[in-house]
Amino acid sequence: MSVTIYHNPKCGTSRNTLAMIRASGEEPVIIEYLQTPLSKEQLSELVAAMKISVRDLLREKGTPFAELDLANTKWSDDQLLDFIVQHPILMNRPVVATPRGTALCRPSERVLDLLENPAVNFTKEDGEQITYEQKDR
């Protein structure tokens, strides 16, 4: 199975998601999007694959969201994508793409539905225990 994670190693949610992927037996392609920013086209494709709005991909905390006035509805999706290209930290994370789908994995356990062989039991960095019950696939 091909798994790609758009990852920020400074983010606990992103680290937990990566650990869950590895616990499933997969070694994902890791794209550290702050070091290798995505193009506008790549961002647009991810948004379409996740079936979310561009606004849903925006991160507010720890970003220039407020100073850029991005809550203002005057910004089009196209303009918001330009802001993310200019300021990659605005992209919420982690995003994971697999043959089963693409999703913004917040909370991190959302990734389990995207994996072929998810770990049934997992302990997050903060000690939280996750028990995964497989749904009919």
Residues classed as catalytic: 11
CA-closest candidate to residue 58, choices 74, 30, 82: 82
- Which residues make beta-bridge pairs with 2? none
C-alpha to C-alpha distance for 96 and 103, rounded to whole angstroms? 6
Tracing tokens 């561009």 back to the chain, one arrives at: 54
DSSP H or E stretch at residue 48: helix 40-50
Cβ atoms within 10 A of the Cβ of 22, count? 13
| Sign for the pseudo-dihedral over CA of 126, 128, 129, 131 | negative
